[in-house]
Amino acid sequence: MAFKGIKLMDTWEIIRRYHDGQKKRTIAKALGYDRKTVRKYIKHLESKGVSLDSNTPLEKEQVLQMMREVITNTERTADKQTLFEAYRQEIIDLVTKPPELKLKTAFAVICQRHDLAGKVSYSSFKRFARRYQLDFSPDKTTCRIEVEPASQLQVDYCKLGLRLDPETGKSRVLYAFIATLSYSRHKYVEFTFGQTQQSFVQSHVNAFTFFGGATKTIVPDNLKAGVIKPSLYDPQFNRSYQEMAEYYGCFIDPARVAHPKDKPKVERDVQTIREKYKELIAIDPTATIMDLNRKILDWLRNDYGIKKHGTTHQKPFLVFQEEEQPKLLPLPEQPFEAAIWKEATVHPDHYIQVQKKSYSIPGAYLGKKVWVKVTHNTVEVYFNEQLIKQHPIAKGFRQTDPHDFPENLAVAVDRGFPLFLQNEAAKIGPQFALLIRNILIPHAFMNMRRVQGILTIAKTYPAQLVESAVAELTTGSFYTPKHFKAFMDKTITIKQEEQSNEFFLSQETRLFVRDSSYFDHSSQRN
């Protein structure tokens, strides 16, 4: 097996599966690790006196803390496979174009053509081929695989077309979220306008509520809302999706990219749901999305669910009630609250930006990448899986905790990035540099982003114009970038008006111009 880097949260998934009763071989196969790797982390916990018996609850924070002691995030490339990279197109042509060589034959040809015999193995060649998802097998026979009751849920989205969104008053693309129980073929369908991370998780929660329980595994498509990085051996799940699975005690086994046969039961339902949607719209063209969701669930229970399935020759809803529902994992007392997870960078001004709002972070994490969990009421910030900051949702643009900043803010004005901004302002002129300093003095870090905006706008105008305009300001005037731009635009407008009001005379006209004394006749009278 090729080398695969392992991260802290990956070890938690190993332990969680082992605690559930899965064998080491099964865990290694599901997650793409070597059995020795799986055994290594399990033994480490056991040596620390942690009980992995399924009857003993697992403490996630305790497990992660112990795993930090042993995990190594070393990275190296599968150098043997990189030898094939230069011949990728040649390999594809050998196995896909006539005479369509078998994989082993193609390996022999490549080794002979490019003198690779003895330098690489056939196993490395197969792994290279899998990476590009090449189908080398001429055997197209389909084998129907059945599973145990309550063991698997297959999910997918299908696109239905444009539909009026009553919330926005605009036409949007409507999708159908389909969740099919692999054993009984009973399903949950939800029409939705979104495929966001939060809506994707919420649809799963709604499906479990509809079924009255959860399955042991979920087989999703490689949609970005659920799977960040699609891979057979190293799928990376969105944090909210992974949390949801842990909350209900189930596991995620995503289908491979461009392999619909990995979830054939729900793939076949896509055609069925599309046709049913057309039927519902033909009957009631003005039906809202709420009407459609109510009608489709009623149809699944009372019509589709009590007819014999074409493959199983059983009635899905009745099989579900009698055989599958009693074996589903029980639901927690409260449904899972779908949160939004975002990766953010702590900027030099001690803030991160999430959903167009700023939140302060302690100075120890400047420049670091952090994970941010956004719920309906709070924003939680994690670094290396540890909670480092918690804020309520900002009512305005910014949420600040004064304890996140250095004590001596006056000193901070004359060093680091605030000093750099003042030096940049001085290139425009001393008056402008003074304005920038006055803005920074009350709170160098909090106002740093404001200064950056003003400085960027000032550079779009002639330096002399900026200096003359700023010189007219009263001491201590405070401007946001928006106000500063409006001020500069108004200054330009005033100057243009002053120039247009000047009285210009031609050379010929000037010959007839007389001084005011010319019209004073008092001297002539005397």
Work out the end-to-end distance of the chain between its first and last CA atoms, rounded to an integer number of angstroms.
121
Both structure tokens of 258: 């461009």
Greatest CA span in the chain, whole angstroms?
A: 131
pLDDT in tens, 6-35: 778 888 888 888 888 899 988 888 887 888
Of 4-8, 132-136, 201-205, 504-508, give the lowest mean pLDDT range: 132-136
Of 204-208, 242-246, 371-375, 441-445, give the lowest mean pLDDT range: 441-445
pLDDT at 198 over 70: yes
Question: Any idea how long the chain is?
Answer: 526
Per-residue confidence (pLDDT) for residue 86, from 0 to 100 = 81
Per-residue confidence (pLDDT) for residue 233, from 0 to 100 = 42
Q: Is 478 left (phi over 0), alpha (psi -120 to 50) or beta?
A: beta
Question: Which percentage of the chain shows pLDDT scores above 70?
Answer: 82
User: DSSP 3-state assignment of 5?
Assistant: coil
Q: Which helix (H) or strand (E) holds 431?
A: helix 430-440
Higher confidence at residue 462 or residue 444? 462
Nearest-angstrom CA–CA distance, 199 and 443: 39
**Confidence band of 74 (pLDDT split at 50, 70, 90):** very low
pLDDT in tens, 82-107: 778 888 888 888 877 776 777 777 88
Per-residue confidence (pLDDT) for residue 502, from 0 to 100 = 56
pLDDT at 166 over 60: yes
pLDDT at 461 over 60: yes
DSSP code per residue over 319-378 = HIIIIIGGGSBPPPSS-----EEEEEE--TTSEEEETTEEEE--GGGTT-EEEEEE-SSE
* Cβ-contact 52, 15 below 8 angstroms: yes
Residues 6+ apart with CB under 8 A from 366: 346, 347, 348, 350
Residues 6+ apart with CB under 8 A from 1: 32, 33, 34
Both structure tokens of 267: 């793939």
Residue 314 CB: number of other CB atoms within 10 A? 16
Of 432-436, 453-457, 458-462, 496-500, give the lowest mean pLDDT range: 496-500
User: DSSP 3-state assignment of 233?
Assistant: coil
Per-residue confidence (pLDDT) for residue 139, from 0 to 100 = 47
Higher confidence at residue 233 or residue 118? 118
Nearest-angstrom CA–CA distance, 297 and 203: 14
Per-residue confidence (pLDDT) for residue 230, from 0 to 100 = 46
Average pLDDT, the chain: 81
**Confidence band of 431 (pLDDT split at 50, 70, 90):** confident
Per-residue confidence (pLDDT) for residue 185, from 0 to 100 = 92
Helices (H), 48-158: 60-67, 79-82, 88-96, 103-113, 122-131
Q: Is the pTM of this model over 0.75?
A: no
Per-residue confidence (pLDDT) for residue 99, from 0 to 100 = 65
**Confidence band of 73 (pLDDT split at 50, 70, 90):** very low
pLDDT in tens, 237-267: 678 888 899 999 999 888 766 566 667 888 8
Supply φ then ψ for residue 174, to 5 degrees. -100, 135
User: DSSP 3-state assignment of 65?
Assistant: helix
Of 329-333, 344-348, 408-412, give the lowest mean pLDDT range: 408-412
Per-residue confidence (pLDDT) for residue 520, from 0 to 100 = 58
pLDDT in tens, 261-284: 667 888 888 888 988 888 888 888
Higher confidence at residue 239 or residue 188? 188
Per-residue confidence (pLDDT) for residue 395, from 0 to 100 = 82
Q: What is the mean pLDDT of residues 38-42?
A: 88
pLDDT in tens, 112-127: 788 888 778 888 888 7
Higher confidence at residue 328 or residue 89? 328
DSSP code per residue over 165-225 = ETTTTEEEEEEEEEEEETTT--EEEEEES---HHHHHHHHHHHHHHHTSB-SEEE----TT
Supply φ then ψ for residue 297, to 5 degrees. -70, -35
- State how far the alpha carbon of 424 is from the alpha carbons of 51, 444, 478, in Å: 60, 15, 19
Nearest-angstrom CA–CA distance, 121 and 107: 9
Per-residue confidence (pLDDT) for residue 188, from 0 to 100 = 96
Residues 6+ apart with CB under 8 A from 464: 429
Three-class DSSP labels, 304-315: HHHCCCCCCCCC
Measure the CA angle with vertex 268, ends 263 and 274; round to 5°. Answer: 125
Residue of 49, 289, 1 lying closest to 161 (CA atoms): 289
